[in-house]
Amino acid sequence: MKIVQLLFFLILFLQNPNPLSSLSPDGLSLLALKSAMDSSPSSVAVFSDWNENDSNPCHWSGVSCMKVHGFPDPRVVGITIAGKNLKGYIPSELGSLIFLRRLNLHGNQLHGSIPDQLFNASSLHSLFLYGNNLTGSLPPSICNLPRLQNLDLSSNALSGGIPSSFSSCRELQRLVLSRNKFSGEIPVGIWSKLQNLMQLDLSSNSFTGEIPNDLGELKSLTGTLNLSFNEFTGEIPKTLEKLPVAVSFDLRNNNLSGEIPQKGTFSNQGPTAFLNNPSLCGFPLQKSCQNIENPSSGSSVSGQERGSKPKKGLKPGLIILISVADAAAVALIGLVIIYIYWKRKDSPNGCCSCTSKTKLGSNNQNQNGTMGCSLFSCSCANGEAEESDLDSPSEKDSHEHNTSSGDQEEGNLVAIDKGFSFELDELLRASAYVLGKSGLGIVYKVVLGNGIPVAVRRLGEGGGQRYKEFVAEIQAIGKIKHPNVVKLRAYYWAPDEKLLICDFISNGNLAFALHGRNGYASGGGSLSWTTRLKIAKGAARGLAYLHECSPRKFVHGDVKPTNILLDNDFNAYISDFGLNRLISITGSDQTSTGGLIGGALPYMKAVQTEKPNYKAPEARVIGMRPTQKWDVYSFGLVLLELLTGKSPESSSSPMASASTSSRGESGVDLVRLVKRGFEVEKPLSEMVDPMLLQQVHAKKEVMAVFHVALACTESDPEIRPRMKTVSENLDKIGN
């Protein structure tokens, strides 16, 4: 180790002997990280300002520092270089950063093992290395860190078992080892000592043996105890009944056997928690334990042995007939799927396209004015979003024409969707109605000459010299094709006017559906639980698509009920994504009331001033840039609003104390109150919207959505799930 460090510092000295001595010891250790990466363009870009000529590394990208008592200069306390596609290894020199508290290198392509020397950084409390290609085993010295709280090594290729030394990780709060190659039995006797552990995820490995009994002693556990997709055997320990009531289980895809316990925490679990364990029986599975083979004798307990008459089985001929019918049904379904696949593949516009190039207003229109092809979605299975129709030759020519004449007085109306066609004069002559106004522009409902309504957003009059930037953003937004995202159909650009033409969604927004026309007063909505769950699933799918499958990997930045639109069937649509950038380009002054579309009513004041705060805690720091984890937090608040029927600042929350009800609760307060409700084991009837109490069968589903919402609203953004995971978890509920 010492020889390697000496060689490293010697090389740096030979390259630049004079300035090197001015660089702090922390800076020298950081340069080891830079040297451990390859020379790819992504690495060069990330470390472009990591200069050995600097005396202090605290202004380098991804490095954070803090003044430490007893030291004249700030010391490095954080390294965050995530999702940069870096290729290299983790250098042992990082262990010399004795004040390093947080190391976040997730989402890269780092290889090799985790060096033991890294854990010489005794101040380290958060280590995020998930989503790399790391190999080897868990270093035994990992729990030498006295302050270790967060350890996420998921989605790597780590192997071996969990060392018994993990009992020394007394401060550990989150342990995530999912999607690796770990194997062997989980040690017994370590979990009772981890009294601060809040999250445990060991899923998608090859763990064997029985589930340890002392997992039931994790008194601080919240969210999901995830042991799914392993090779656990034996019965489910009854000690898990003692876990907090807010904990949900995921024990799918194991080899567990016996009867599912019925008391304590198990009474709140749904059937999805136990699927694909062939020898499990009992509630909530629809499998009686009387028909399960007795593990001790190896033979089934027959009706005769119980003193009852034996039941006759199905006749062989009937069994054959049922098998043939099942095979025929499967074959028919397969043929239908293949037919639909080739029909879509051969359509002129590809993914999400119509089978014929019809104009808006033809027989392919539904009642909401959306194209029939919008019912399809581009699958995320291949990790790529389909190309939009924006790149057709005719439209490219139109873009080039406008680029060359960006300063001309006349504007140009460009249709993004080939099946959507109308003239500018038709738009200007159409009847228009003001829907509302916000910082993102005035929105009108415009009824075209063929009777089809569209939503038109007026962005403003500025940005005449930034046409190329404007079109680049429009192209990215126009490529979004998903059934739960509002579709951009066309746009109009001129030096003094910018318009966006989108589908008109007919049934208002989620805020109106929940609370009625009087804004956030109670008593307006009467949504059933089935409808609320449908809305939550649809909105999650749309937001996950924007995060994962869109060309820009969009961050919405303003997720709230008013930006979740609903059609007549209560399908959810995410709206207003990507607009913040367009507003900054156009330099819009949204206080203006002029420039109304022809035929519009005189400007009316916006529907209501929105008070609830759906921002994540870190989003309230001035100057911070939005992230996808902000969206996850905001969506979690929307889920809590669906569950409780109260907005984050509702002054009539049944959970609020008298001292807080007069001033209203912020989003953080709503999360705190819900968590407190679970901690003191309040009855569900005191926390949910009274409307949901009429549906007794929904209790388990409501509990499951509470778990998802609380995971989304974790204060630490690093441990919030991705929207893709949130969407997948919601889709499991009620199915």
Q: What are phi and psi of 93, to 5 degrees?
A: -65, -20
Q: What are phi and psi of 413, to 5 degrees?
A: -95, 120
Cβ(128)–Cβ(152) under 8 Å?
Answer: yes
Chain centroid, CA 182 distance in Å: 26
Positive/negative CA dihedral, 141, 146, 149, 150: negative
The pair of three-digit structure tokens given for residue 162, joined into one six-digit string: 């969990």
Q: Is 389 helix (H, G, I), strand (E, B) or coil?
A: helix
Q: What's the CA gap between 224 and 703, in Å, rounded? A: 12
Q: What's the CA gap between 613 and 429, in Å, rounded? A: 39
The residue assigned the tokens 């470390």 is 47
Chain centroid, CA 241 distance in Å: 30
Name the residue among 504, 169, 198 with its Cα closest to residue 366.
504
Residues designated as active site: 558
Q: What is the DSSP string of 36-76?
A: TB---HHHHHHTTT--TT-S-GGGSTTEEEE--TT-SS-EE
Cβ(74)–Cβ(56) under 8 Å?
Answer: yes
Q: Rounded to whole angstroms, what are the CA distances from 619 to 151, 555, 628, 673, 712?
A: 24, 13, 11, 21, 15
At position 189, the amino acid (one-letter code) is: G
Helix, strand, coil shares of the chain, percent, nearest 5, are 35, 15, 50
Q: Is 580 helix (H, G, I), strand (E, B) or coil?
A: helix
Name the residue among 114, 145, 116 with its Cα closest to residue 129.
114
174-176/150-152 β-pairing:
parallel
At position 651, the amino acid (one-letter code) is: S
Give the neighbor-by-neighbor strand order of the sheet with 159-160.
159-160, 181-185, 206-209, 231-234, 255-259, 279-281
Q: Is-cis flag, bond preceding 261, omega within 30? A: no
150-152/126-128 β-pairing:
parallel
